[in-house]
């Protein structure tokens, strides 16, 4: 049976008098938990604090499908006090017995009375609270970075897969095209042509390639009409495979006048061989251009990742804020496309470079833009779809990113036209562990981390203005 001597073994209560310990005994309740049994679950009312008398208990937080370990407490330890001390109504983490646990629990009312009447206990608890808060914030910050990295990596993998797949497809088609082009080239070289004709054919190839690279993309109707004209011309001169040739020639920006020029300068018996050779050459050139475009896109994405992470660069350095925002948008591009959110840039191109922690500021842009996307999806989507749908409040989900100079500060505003943040919670939005998301969907540290980076690390300022259809986060960084 629990007595005052057992309570006195708890370091927190070591200096309490027998009378005070007896009072705690009278007010508290003993409970036992078996290994694996949940003591309190995330989202339950935070109406008690607990003293672990025997056993071991682990504190976890569920984020999505993952359960994150925050702490493991051994016997003679106080736990569950953080939400109570921070005035939060619900536990933001769960406690589960690792071994058989003997737990002594106190109501919030008793806990506050103990703090007010026992100075030594209050001092010890506040010290412990500060240490635990720092530990939990550090763990959650690392975890948020990993989750953010996972989200960004998934989007980036999708972004990389598109050009990589297109590149592989084009390479396969190019291999097939080469198998056709080589015999055509050999056959053409075996034809009897004058030196003038050979020069003409060489120039013809160069001209066709040049036209193809500057060709204007036609609408389907115009493309079809022009192809029909080409087919009629080619059939008139008994050229084989007229539809195949016509499609390539029209796409490449050639015209009937170009065909007439070929016919006038080449013997009629060579017409098909030369046109077929030009058509395959244009296919080959188009595939090479596609491969070049795809590899350039992959290179751009990799460069954006390097810029985003400030790889191989010092922590504090002179940075261009616009470059950081653009690399963040590139990383988030898949999510933006998936949710049909339009981004409007209103940049002041005259703002100077500033000395800052580039990687940390990219965390700020990522958190704020990602939150804006989530807010727009939450406010406008059909529950069966991930993509926002039009609504009277927000016909087109939009995010505005604005930059300018304000006296000695660089000003960045990230705004969206979502449902907004309720007036009654706006003053709490930067507090640690405060979240508007459901259980298991957020740690409540994202905006707190943003605040610490902007205000604590950069001596800047961040403010929130929100009403339905207009939510704005305004950041000011010293120049």
Angstrom distance (rounded) from CA 58 to CA 69: 7
- Ordered by where they begin, the domains of the chain are 4-117 (2.60.120.10), 154-294 (no CATH), 315-380+395-478 (3.30.565.10)
What Rg, from alpha-carbon coordinates, does the chain have?
A: 34
| The pLDDT of residue 81 | 85
| Cβ(36)–Cβ(58) below 8 Å | no
Please provide the size of the chain in residues.
479
Q: Which two tokens stand for residue 85?
A: 């001390």
* Distance from the Cα of residue 230 to its chain's centroid: 48
Res 395: pLDDT: 61
Residue recorded with tokens 């290994």? 35
Block means of pLDDT (10 residues each) for the chain, 479 residues, are 86 87 91 93 90 91 74 88 82 90 92 83 76 66 57 65 79 85 81 84 91 87 90 90 89 91 86 89 88 80 66 71 87 83 90 87 87 79 44 70 91 91 82 56 63 87 89 91
Instruction: Tell me the backbone φ, ψ of residue 58, rounded to 5 degrees.
Output: -110, 145
3-state secondary structure the chain: CCCHHHHHCCHHHCCCCHHHHHHHHHHCEEEEECCCCEEECCCCECCEEEEEEECCEEEEEEECCEEEEEEEECCCEEECHHHHHCCCCECCCEEEECCCEEEEEEEHHHHHHHHHHCHHHHHHHHHHHHHHHHHHHHHHHHHHHHHHHHHHHHHHHHHHHHHHHHHHHHHHHHHHHHHHHHHHHHHHHCCCCCHHHHHHHHHHHHHHHHHHHCCCCCCHHHHHHHHHHHHHHHHHCCCCCHHHHHHHHHHCCCCHHHHHHHHHHCCHHHHHHHHHHHHHHHHHHHHHHHHHHHHHHHHHHHHHHHHHHCCCCCCEEEECHHHHHHHHHHHCHHHHHHCCCEEEEECCCCCCCEEEEHHHHHHHHHHHHHHHHHHHHHHHECCCCCCECCCCCCCCCEEEEEEEEECCEEEEEEEECCCCCCHHHHHHCCCCCCCCCCCCCCCCCHHHHHHHHHHHHCCCEEEEEEECCEEEEEEEEEC
Burial class (CB in 10 A: 0-12, 13-18, 19+), 123: exposed
Q: Which two tokens stand for residue 340?
A: 């049909």
pLDDT at 443: 42
How distant, in Å, are the alpha carbons of 8, 37, 131, 200, 288 from that of 81?
19, 20, 13, 88, 65
Compute the CA torsion angle 438, 439, 440, 442 (nearest 10 deg): 50
Q: Is 27 exposed, middle or buried (0-12, 13-18, 19+ CB in 10 A)?
A: middle
As a whole number of angstroms, the distance between CA 14 and CA 383 comes to: 55
Closest by CA position to 181, among listed 47, 286, 282, 54? 282
Identify the pLDDT of residue 155: 63
What pLDDT score does 273 carry?
87
Is the distance from CB of 202 to CB of 189 less than 8 angstroms? no
Which tens digit of pLDDT belongs to each residue from 22-63? Answer: 998 999 999 999 999 999 998 899 999 999 999 999 988 876
Pairing, β 342-346 against β 398-406: parallel
Model pTM?
0.49
Q: Which residue has the tokens 């407490």?
A: 73
Q: What is the mean pLDDT of the chain?
A: 82
The answer to whether 271 touches 239, Cβ cutoff 8 Å, is yes
* pLDDT, tens digit, 9 for 90 and up, residues 332-374: 887 888 888 999 999 988 889 999 888 788 888 988 998 898 8
């Amino acid at each position: 049976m629990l007595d005052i001597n057992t309570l006195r073994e708890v370091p927190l209560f070591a200096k309490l008098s027998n009378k005070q310990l007896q009072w705690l005994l009278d007010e508290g309740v003993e409970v036992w938990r078996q290994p694996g049994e949940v003591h309190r679950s995330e989202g339950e009312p935070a109406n008690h604090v607990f003293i672990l008398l025997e056993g071991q208990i682990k504190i976890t937080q569920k984020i999505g499908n993952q359960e994150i370990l925050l702490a493991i407490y051994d016997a003679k330890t106080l736990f569950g006090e953080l939400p109570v001390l921070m005035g939060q109504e619900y536990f933001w983490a769960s406690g589960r017995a690792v071994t058989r646990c003997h737990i002594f629990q106190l109501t919030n009312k008793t806990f506050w009375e103990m703090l007010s009447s026992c100075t030594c206990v209050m001092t010890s608890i506040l010290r412990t609270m500060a240490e635990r808060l720092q530990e939990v914030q550090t763990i959650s910050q690392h975890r948020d970075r990993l989750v953010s990295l996972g989200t960004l990596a998934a989007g980036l993998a999708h972004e990389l897969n598109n050009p990589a797949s297109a590149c592989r497809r084009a390479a396969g088609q190019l291999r097939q095209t080469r198998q056709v082009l080589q015999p055509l080239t050999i056959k053409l070289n075996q034809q009897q042509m004058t030196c003038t004709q050979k020069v003409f054919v060489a120039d013809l190839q160069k001209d066709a390639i040049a036209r193809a690279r500057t060709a204007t993309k036609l609408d389907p109707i115009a493309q079809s009409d022009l192809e029909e004209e080409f087919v009629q011309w080619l059939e008139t001169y008994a050229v084989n495979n007229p539809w195949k040739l016509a499609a390539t020639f029209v796409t490449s920006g050639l015209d009937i006048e170009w065909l007439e020029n070929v016919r006038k300068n080449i013997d009629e018996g060579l017409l098909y061989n030369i046109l077929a050779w030009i058509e395959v050459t244009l296919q080959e050139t188009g595939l090479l251009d596609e491969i070049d475009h795809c590899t350039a896109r992959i290179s751009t994405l990799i460069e954006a990742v390097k810029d985003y992470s400030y790889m191989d660069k010092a922590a504090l350095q002179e940075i261009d804020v616009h470059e950081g925002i653009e690399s963040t948008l590139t990383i988030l591009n898949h999510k933006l496309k998936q949710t049909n959110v339009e981004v409007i840039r209103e940049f002041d191109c005259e703002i100077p470079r500033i000395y800052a922690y580039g990687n940390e500021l990219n965390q700020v842009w990522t958190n704020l833009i990602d939150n804006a996307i989530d807010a727009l999806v939450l406010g406008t989507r059909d529950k069966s779809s991930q993509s926002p749908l039009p609504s009277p409040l927000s016909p087109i989900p939009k995010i505005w990113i604005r930059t300018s100079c304000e006296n000695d500060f660089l000003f960045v505003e990230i705004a969206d036209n979502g449902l907004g943040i309720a007036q009654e919670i706006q003053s709490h939005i930067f507090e640690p562990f405060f979240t508007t998301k459901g259980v298991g969907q957020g740690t409540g540290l994202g905006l707190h981390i943003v605040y610490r980076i902007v205000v604590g690390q950069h001596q800047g300022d961040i403010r929130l203005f929100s009403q339905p259809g207009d939510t704005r986060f305004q950041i000011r960084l010293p120049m």
